[in-house]
């Protein structure tokens, strides 16, 4: 599984997929899901889904929805100066200090334009007030800009307008493997989870689940969790399981190891305790120990949908991750464990004995 996982990460992590401009991820996801053989669909919101029929039909034909989101953090241009400097607003919880100065790509309907996220020259004083704020205060998006070395007129000729999106430059997106168990890169949240679900889908195609399962690769999660809500509203699933990163921080009892994290509550809503415990039990049956956790400043498609009353039960499964919303470091063994745990839960169901 490790080789297939790293191949997927190598492919997915270098794509550009700011919310609602996710075509590069769409192409990769469609390619892999179509190889599995089931019909693949994309809804008007941009979510991609594949339904794997179960061996048993339960009353109401209620489906289990398992998701990972394909969009990544980015920014949106809100002003273009005459000299071509572009001032931006965040799409989701990204901060300029997490990126620093460096390659930053403008993603337009006409293609990608390379640029640089700029802060200014440090050889300056309070007579340069914007740069002085960079030097003396916590940075925000008001004091940094994107520069593609094109004037406003040149940008206009290339079809660039206010409203364009930009993301960390592709030159900085190549994943970095650290030792045998860790991968570093931008947007492991949530492209690494997409890799997990692609592996899971292939496994479920070989060993069908007990009940119908919909693998959902959702759109527009960052900043709004709207993709998962749209899917849940139209699918009406019984269970909704999101796969996500699990933040390492002093306040959380989450260790950076191969044990997946099962969330019991996040900043949006509490998860369904019975479903959370079913996932933990499924892990135990395949030798996967889980880390239960309650987190702040975090939300998922599954908690957003449950709070809105769009499904019956929700859970969120994560892999331990450092530096979330920056150059993230994730545990490869925990990603693999998520695949094994989910496969056990979906193939055998919650009531199967440990020896099954």
Give me the pLDDT at residue 27, please. Answer: 98
| pLDDT tens-digit readout, 286-342 | 999 999 999 999 999 999 999 999 999 999 999 999 999 999 999 999 999 999 999
Cα(15)–Cα(264) distance, rounded to whole angstroms? 31
Question: Is the pLDDT reported for residue 354 higher than 50?
Answer: no
Question: Is the pLDDT reported for residue 136 higher than 90?
Answer: no
Count CB-CB contacts under 10 A for residue 123.
Answer: 7
Q: Where are the domains of the chain?
A: 2-72+187-348, 74-171
Interstrand relation of 145-147 and 239-247 (parallel, antiparallel or unpaired): unpaired
Choices 3.40.50.300, 2.120.10.30, 3.40.630.10, 3.50.50.60: CATH for 2-72+187-348: 3.40.630.10
Give me the pLDDT at residue 128, please. Answer: 75
| pLDDT tens-digit readout, 218-271 | 999 998 999 999 999 999 999 999 999 999 999 999 999 999 999 999 999 999
CA atoms within 13 A on the CB side of 349: 11
| pLDDT tens-digit readout, 56-74 | 987 776 899 999 999 999 9
Which residue has better confidence, 36 or 328?
Answer: 328
**What's the DSSP call for residue 204?**
H
Question: Is the pLDDT reported for residue 178 higher than 60?
Answer: yes
Question: Is the pLDDT reported for residue 133 higher than 90?
Answer: no
Per-residue confidence band for 131, with pLDDT thresholds at 50, 70 and 90: confident
* 216 within 8 A of 239, measured Cβ to Cβ: no
Give me the pLDDT at residue 132, please. Answer: 78
Closest CA to 13 of 336, 330, 338: 330
Interstrand relation of 213-218 and 64-69 (parallel, antiparallel or unpaired): parallel
Domain at 74-171: CATH architecture? Beta Barrel (2.40)
Give me the pLDDT at residue 62, please. Answer: 84
Closest CA to 295 of 316, 325, 277, 326: 316
Residue 322 CA: distances (Å) to CA of 189, 298, 318, 329:
11, 14, 12, 5
Give me the pLDDT at residue 61, please. Answer: 66
Give me the pLDDT at residue 346, please. Answer: 98
Give me the pLDDT at residue 351, please. Answer: 52
CA atoms within 13 A on the CB side of 10: 7
Question: Is the pLDDT reported for residue 37 higher than 50?
Answer: yes
SS3 114: strand
């Amino acid at each position: 599984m490790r080789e297939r996982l790293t191949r997927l990460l190598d492919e997915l992590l270098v794509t550009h997929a700011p919310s609602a401009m996710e075509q590069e991820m769409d192409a990769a996801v469609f390619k892999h899901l179509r190889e599995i053989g089931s019909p693949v669909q994309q809804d008007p919101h941009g979510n991609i889904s594949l339904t794997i029929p179960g061996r048993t039909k339960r009353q109401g034909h209620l489906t289990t929805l398992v998701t990972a989101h394909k969009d990544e953090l980015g920014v949106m241009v809100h002003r273009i100066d005459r000299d071509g400097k572009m001032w931006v607003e965040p799409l989701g919880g990204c901060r300029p200090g997490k990126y620093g100065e460096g390659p930053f790509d403008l993603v337009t309907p006409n293609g990608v334009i390379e640029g640089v996220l700029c802060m200014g020259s440090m050889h300056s004083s309070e007579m340069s007030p914007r740069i002085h704020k960079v030097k003396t205060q916590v940075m925000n998006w008001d004091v940094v800009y994107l520069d593609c070395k094109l004037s406003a007129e040149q940008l206009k000729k290339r079809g660039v307008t206010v409203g364009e999106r930009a993301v960390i430059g592709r030159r900085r997106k190549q994943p970095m493997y650290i030792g045998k168990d860790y991968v570093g890169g931008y947007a492991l949240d949530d492209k690494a989870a997409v890799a997990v679900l692609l592996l899971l889908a292939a496994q479920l195609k070989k060993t069908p689940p007990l009940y119908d399962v919909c693998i959902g690769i959702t759109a527009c999660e960052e900043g709004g969790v709207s993709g998962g809500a749209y899917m849940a509203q139209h699918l009406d699933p019984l269970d909704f399981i999101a796969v996500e990163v699990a933040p390492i921080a002093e306040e959380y009892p989450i260790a950076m190891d191969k044990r997946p994290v099962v969330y019991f509550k996040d900043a949006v809503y509490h998860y369904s305790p019975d479903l959370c415990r079913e996932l933990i039990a499924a892990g135990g049956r395949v030798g996967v120990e889980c880390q239960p956790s309650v987190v702040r400043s975090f939300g998922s498609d599954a908690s957003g949908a449950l709070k809105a009353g769009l499904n019956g039960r929700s859970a969120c499964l994560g892999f331990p991750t450092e530096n979330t919303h920056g150059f993230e470091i994730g545990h490869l063994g925990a990603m693999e464990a998520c695949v094994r745990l989910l496969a056990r839960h979906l193939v055998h169901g919650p009531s199967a004995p440990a020896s099954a």
